[in-house]
Amino acid sequence: MTLLEVKGLKKYFPIRKGLLRKVVGHVKAVDDVSFTVKRGETLALVGESGCGKTTVSRCIMRALDPSAGEVNFTLDGQTTDLATLGGKGLKPFRRHLQMVFQDPFSSLNPRMMVGDLIGEPLLINGMSDPAERRKRVRELLDVVQLPVEYMNRFPHAFSGGQRQRIGIARALALNPSLIVADEPVSALDVSVQAQIINLLLDLQDQLGLTYLFVAHDLSVVKHVSDRVAVMYVGQLVEIASTEDLFHRPKHPYTEALLSAVPKPDPRAKTERIILQREVADAANPPPGCAFHPRCAHATDLCRQQRPALVDLGNGHQVRCHHAHVLDLKGVGATV
Amino acid sequence: MPQTPMVDHPDHEAGGSTSAATPLLSVRGLKTYFKLDEGTVKAVDGVSFDLFAGRTLGIVGESGCGKSISARSILRIVDRPGKIEGGEILLQQEGDNENAIDLLQLPHEGPELRAIRGKEIALVFQEPMASFSHYYTIGNQIMEAILLHSATSDDAARARAIELLGMVGVPNPERRVDEYPFQLSGGLRQRVMMAMALACDPRILIADEPTTALDVTTQAQVLNLLQRIQKERGLSVILITHDMGVVAEMADDVVVMYLGRAVEKGPVDEIFHDPKHPYTQALLRSIPSIMAKPRTKLATIEGSIPHPFARPSGCPFHPRCPDAIKGLCDVKEPPTHALRPDRAVSCFLYGDAS
């Protein structure tokens, strides 16, 4: 069952110049992105900095207003387009979409005690009885495996991993249907990162959560997601099941991305694909396929015509003119 | 507390020493402390390692392990209130394998030390934007290093800057030389940083998290460049990183650090395939792998890295260690056992290892 359907989502930021701040162009941060997230699954949105993955997540949360497109959210069998709603109309939906942030140091108010931080969303949503609130906060601390005594401490007393647990407890307070986690483990040390990844997996099993997991680290993504969507310069270039995407990539950019991940094994003899040149400018994308200036397989067709996202079957969608003929390497191809 | 040196000192070896046996740079028992009002933070507490000519030494560890402070201590650029409290940093003189100078004995801001910084040992930082001046063109900043260390004309220095930019793969170096750092992308800035470090043809390059701020595909470009330059120039590199993947791909030898201590040391293949220290073993198990089956849980290390003021007694890793021996690990600091000249571990489990 589909929980979230993003359809033709666009977010353009105007570029203004001169004394009169005239609009001289647009940064197409998100340019026609469509995907669905099923209830109970994890969809990872991956890509390099500036590809628009965070902008997509912020448009879904309505922290940003989309320039065009639909964000259809299904609640109790009823589907609503969040993109068309205003402040008041959105309010009943806010509690069902929660966010876990990247930086556990700046996302918690240093002047609030942990109990108040986690209880704040409850208070805002009408749980006015302090005793009831404390009870729920206790439950939540238990869920994220923090001692209940921590309730009366301030965030500065905690390590990064503990703070991220507090952030997760806060997001879970209102029993949301969808959790958007934007790089939730990238600020953490490896040994702590593993704990948080495991916690997120456990919580999903226990509470039937749905995650939209925005990340750049493909190794982390491999551990948490059911399906993966790869973005490049504001567009989805490939979307497939985790297994298919990592082992049978169909887009040359995905292949390069996978090969560039350093493998923690000195014996791994994989060929790194070194992409030439730089990521295209979203304000001035090249004609045709946005990836063609860096693509080893580019032809005249790629230079002139923008490829469409086509389904190769099994839900494996790819935006490449030559997807059906290219023989690309996934991870573990050498084993 | 006396510290057992991690490697037998090469000076003890009989016969003429080859370049492979004499470390180019040898750090022994380095201690760098930060004396703060709240107490003393032993950021680096008795660390020893060797860098051999033409090789890459990877220093890995999580935040607060002292890897960056170790590197900064080598160049004596630790920010206050940090102070080097003890140890030796022996740099082999060029063309002279017998005598090494101890950088810690040189006057703090004297000409000898300044002649070494940038000329003999160069440093590449993690944040290329924070390490450049915003007010000078990149050409000017590269030229500054050249003019400081050699008697050349401005024109020759400029030509050399352009040549260096070309060498590190900056497109249109003749045009780029007059650009400012903010006009460059992160990957290009890191290349320029590298050009600047190489300007005076150093023997040793210290790269402190050189690719951490970069995207994976850009990281791949920069790592490739680093490998190429090292091969071409026979550079010796100290690579500091938290990324085990980067270490595995780049390093010849590895030092694993935890809370200011070098807990294990050895050739890269042995560190990854035969780790000895419980911390190294646990760390390797907890890395997410791109080869993993989707949705698999990771092995974790219990707890978190202790706060620097709340440093555990005995072995700093004992509260998180699955193999900790009660009454020993929490009381006594483990000595460093040299298993072989190039292999050492600091743990009681290897007390009688031959």
Residue B232, CA distances (Å) to A280, B203, B226 in order: 31, 12, 10
Q: Pick the more confident residue, A277 or A246.
A: A246
Check pLDDT > 50 for residue B354. no
Whether the pLDDT of residue B128 is over 90: the answer is no
**Burial environment of residue A78 by CB neighbours within 10 A (0 to 12, 13 to 18, 19 or more):** exposed
B283/A216 CB distance under 8 A: no
Bridge partners, residue A229, by sequence = A45, A239
Considering the segment(s) A2-109+175-318 as one domain, its CATH architecture is 3-Layer(aba) Sandwich (3.40)
Task: Identify which has the larger pLDDT, B9 or A284.
Answer: A284
CB–CB of A47/A216 below 8 Å?
Answer: yes
pLDDT at B352: 59
Confidence of residue B31 (pLDDT cuts 50, 70, 90): very high
Answer whether B301 sits within 8 Å of A191, measured CB to CB.
yes
Assigned token pair, B134 = 């915003």
Is residue B165 within 8 A of residue B142, CB to CB? The reply is yes
When CB atoms are compared, the residue of B217, B290, B295 closest to A256 is B217
For an interface test with B, the pick among A211, A233, A259, A265 (most B C-beta atoms closer than 10 Å) comes out as: A265
B127: in domain: no
Of A49, A331, A335, the CB nearest to B215: A49
The DSSP-derived string for B33-49 is EEEETTEEEEEEEEEEE
Q: Does A265 touch chain B (CB under 8 A)?
A: yes
Tell me, yes or no, if A147 comes closer than 8 A to chain B by beta carbon: no
Is B179 contained in some domain?
yes
Q: Is B153 on the interface with A (CB under 8 A)?
A: no
Residue B311 has a pLDDT of: 86
Cis peptide before B81 (omega within 30 of 0): yes
Average pLDDT, chain A: 92
Specify if B140 maps to a domain. yes
Closest CA to B343 of B245, B279, B285, B269: B269
Mean pLDDT of A90-117: 91
Q: Percent of chain B at pLDDT above 70?
A: 93
The mean per-residue pLDDT over the stretch B266-294 comes to 93
Using CA atoms, how far apart are residues B42 and B32, in angstroms rounded to an integer? 6
The answer to whether A227 touches A242, Cβ cutoff 8 Å, is yes
Give pLDDT, residue B18. 42
Question: Does the pLDDT of residue B9 top 70, yes or no?
Answer: no
A132 touches chain B (CB under 8 A): no
- The two tokens of residue A119 are 């209880």
Task: State the DSSP H helix or E strand holding residue B144, giving kind and residue range, or none if neither.
Answer: helix B138-149
Provide the domain limits for residue B164: 134-201
- B186 falls within a domain: yes
Query: Is B244 an interface residue toward A (CB < 8 Å)?
Result: yes
Chain A nearest CA to B136, separation (Å):
24
Band (pLDDT 50/70/90 cuts) for residue B43 is very high
Average pLDDT, stretch B276-287?
94
> A262 and B245: CB-CB below 8 Å?
yes
Total-model pTM: 0.87
Give the residue carrying structure tokens 């490697």.
B7
Judge whether B274 is closer than 8 Å to chain A, CB to CB. no
Rounded Cα distance, A211 and B295, in Å: 13
**Residues B132-152: tens digit of each pLDDT:** 889 999 999 999 989 988 889
Q: Best interface-test mutation with A: which of B298, B305, B307 has the largest number of A CBs within 10 A?
A: B298
User: Quick check: is B164 in a domain?
Assistant: yes
Q: pLDDT value at position B14?
A: 38
Pick the residue from chain A with its C-alpha nearest to B248: A266
Contact B102, B88 (CB under 8 A): yes
Looking at the DSSP bridge assignments, the partners of residue A23 are A16
Q: Residue holding tokens 């003019």?
A: B147
Q: Are residues B218 and A48, on separate chains, in Cβ contact within 8 Å?
A: yes
Domain count along chain B: 1
Interchain contact, A278 vs B188, CB within 8 Å: yes
- From the CA of A77, how many Å to the nearest CA of chain B? 28
Euclidean distance between CA atoms B254 and B239, whole angstroms: 9
pLDDT at B13: 38
* pLDDT tens digits, A119-135: 999 999 888 899 999 99
Continuous H helices in B75-119: 111-116
Q: What is the pLDDT of residue A333?
A: 52
> Average of pLDDT values for A1-17?
94
Q: How far is A275 from chain B (nearest CA, A)?
A: 7
* B29 in any annotated domain: no
pLDDT above 50: residue B224: yes
pLDDT for B52-66, tens place per residue?
Answer: 999 999 999 988 899
Percent composition of chain B: helix, strand, coil (DSSP 3-state, to 5): 35, 25, 40
Is A260 in the B-facing interface, judged by CB distances under 8 Å? yes
- Chain A CB within 8 Å of residue B220 CB: yes
Average pLDDT over residues B159-176: 90
Q: Is the pLDDT of residue B3 over 60?
A: no
Chain B: closest CA distance from residue A38 (Å): 16
Interface of A with B in 281-320 (CB under 8 A): none
Query: Residue B159 domain-assigned?
Result: yes
Mutate which: A53, A191, A258, vs B, most B CBs within 10 A: A191
Q: What is the pLDDT of residue A170?
A: 94
pLDDT tens string A163-219: 999 999 999 999 999 999 999 998 888 888 999 999 999 999 999 999 999 999 999
pLDDT band of A247, cuts 50, 70, 90: very high
DSSP, residue by residue, A261-317? SPPS-TT--PPPP---S-PPPTTSPPSSSTTGGG-TT--HHHHHSPPP-EE-STT-E
Q: Inter-chain contact B248–A264, Cβ cutoff 8 Å?
A: yes
Q: Which residues from A are below 8 Å from B292, CB to CB?
A: 219, 222-223
Query: Is residue B281 included in any domain, yes or no?
Result: no
For the stretch A140-179, pLDDT in tens is: 999 999 999 999 999 988 888 899 999 999 999 999 999 9
d(CA A172, CA A144): 9
Q: What is the percent of chain A with per-residue pLDDT over 90, rounded to a whole number?
A: 76
* Per-residue tokens: A269: 């003899």
Tell me if A2 sits within 8 A of A70, measured CB to CB: no
β-strand B204-208 against B236-241: which pairing, if any? parallel
Using a CB-CB cut-off of 8 Å, the residues of chain A touching B188 are 278
Q: Say which DSSP state B117 is in.
A: B
Q: Is the pLDDT of residue B17 over 70?
A: no
Q: CB neighbours (10 Å) of residue A126? A: 7
Name which of B15-29, B33-47, B334-348 the model is least confident about.
B15-29
The torsion of the CA quartet B263, B267, B269, B274, rounded to 10 degrees, works out to: -40
Tell the residue number behind the tokens 């001289």, with chain if given: A24
Q: Is the dihedral of CA A201, A206, A209, A210 positive or negative?
A: positive
Give pLDDT, residue B97: 67
What crossing angle do the helices spanning B216-233 and B186-198 adopt, rounded to 10°? 20
